[in-house]
Amino acid sequence: MRRSLVVGNWKMHGSAASIDTLVTGLQQQLANLPADQTDIAVCPPFVFIPQVISQLEGSAIACGAQNVSDQQEGAYTGEISATMLAELGCQYVIVGHSERRTLMAESDADIAAKFTAVQSQGLTPILCVGESLAQREAGETLSWIEQQIKAVIAVAGIEAMAASVIAYEPIWAIGTGKTASPEQAQEVHAHIRQVLANESQAVAGALQLLYGGSVKADNAAELFGKQDIDGALVGGAALKAADFAAICMAA
């Protein structure tokens, strides 16, 4: 039985004051959630990670980062390494978010390198994959997702996938208010699990597979009701404590 996982991606939002309020709200709202059922993490902007980790001390909510360098140290101006994130106390790092693939031109090779850099420091990568609307309409969704996952397996190896999380995030559903139907999401999730199962049944069975794309309190339960959907990566709705908490409850 896989544990469920809900991760909030706060993107480039917040101030010290608003994040203080958000974390306090989350701790209040989630105080009664049985910790043995659902893993919860939040991914603030880098500069607020120490504040959030300090506020979360003693809580079951983990902290993650939204990005990382593929290098551990050196002359890489403006970059943040997995070593640094581990020292701060992060547990997760999002790699391959579609905004980074699109806006920062990150390639599958870049993402695979980040994935291994994260794991080398004992952190858990949350690997994001997803198709554009044009790819979906062209019937290329499953082959595209498979290619994105195999690009990481080719570098990291199938066993490394056991210590990772995969988030299926259709690009057309991110921040648009359009959610994939539970059936559309389940179809892709089942395919991802099959791609992994072709190499290792054990890895495929154990891996937490999240859906992301306009998940809200009122659509979460239906998505989580699907066999291969183990939780969610949440953007917009993660910025309101009550909404994020409701999604965690649904998981």
Give the residue ranges of the annotated binding site for substrate.
Answer: 9-11, 175, 214, 235-236
Judged by CB under 6 A, the residue of 66, 196, 236, 250 near ligand PEP is 236
Which range in 117-125, 137-145, 167-175, 241-249 contacts ligand PEP by CB under 6 A? 167-175
**Cβ atoms within 10 Å, residue 149:** 20
Question: Is 97 in the active site?
Answer: yes
Structure tokens at 21: 């309020």
What residues form DSSP beta bridges with 234? Answer: 8
CA contacts within 13 A on the Cβ side of 163: 15
Query: Would you give the binding string for ligand PEP spanning residues 3-32, x where CB under 6 A is met?
Result: ------x-----------------------
Residue 215 C-beta: closest distance to ligand PEP, Å: 5
Place of tokens 């989580």: 224
Task: Find out whether 85 and 44 touch, Cβ atoms under 8 Å.
Answer: no
Question: By the 8 A CB rule, do 185 and 223 touch?
Answer: yes
Q: How far is Cα 95 from Cα 146, in angstroms, rounded to an integer? A: 16
Angle (deg, nearest 10), helices 141-156 and 182-197:
40
Binding of residue 131 to ligand PEP (CB under 6 A): no
Q: Other CB atoms closer than 10 Å to residue 38's CB: what's the count?
A: 21
Active site residue 57: no
Among 15-23, 35-43, 189-197, 212-220, which window interacts with ligand PEP (CB under 6 A)? Answer: 212-220
CA distance 190 to 3: 17
Residue of 113, 233, 247, 250 that binds ligand PEP (CB under 6 A)? 233
Stretch that binds ligand PEP, among 32-40, 85-93, 115-123, 235-243 (CB under 6 A): 235-243
SS3 state of residue 232: strand
Query: Going along 90-206, which residue ranges are E strands?
Result: 92-95, 124-129, 165-168
214 binds ligand PEP (CB under 6 A): yes
| By the rule CB under 6 A, 212 interacts with ligand PEP | yes
Minimum distance of ligand PEP from residue 238's CB (angstroms):
7
Q: Does 108 bind ligand PEP (CB under 6 A)?
A: no
Does the protein bind ligand PEP through residue 174 (CB under 6 A)? yes
Closer by beta carbon to ligand PEP, 93 or else 237 = 237
Which of the following is catalytic: 99, 131, 169, 189?
169
Tell me the backbone φ, ψ of residue 104, rounded to 5 degrees. -110, 5
Q: How many residues form the binding site for ligand PEP (CB under 6 A)?
A: 13
Residues found near ligand PEP in the complex (CB under 6 A): 9, 169, 174-175, 212-215, 233-237
Active site residues: 97, 169
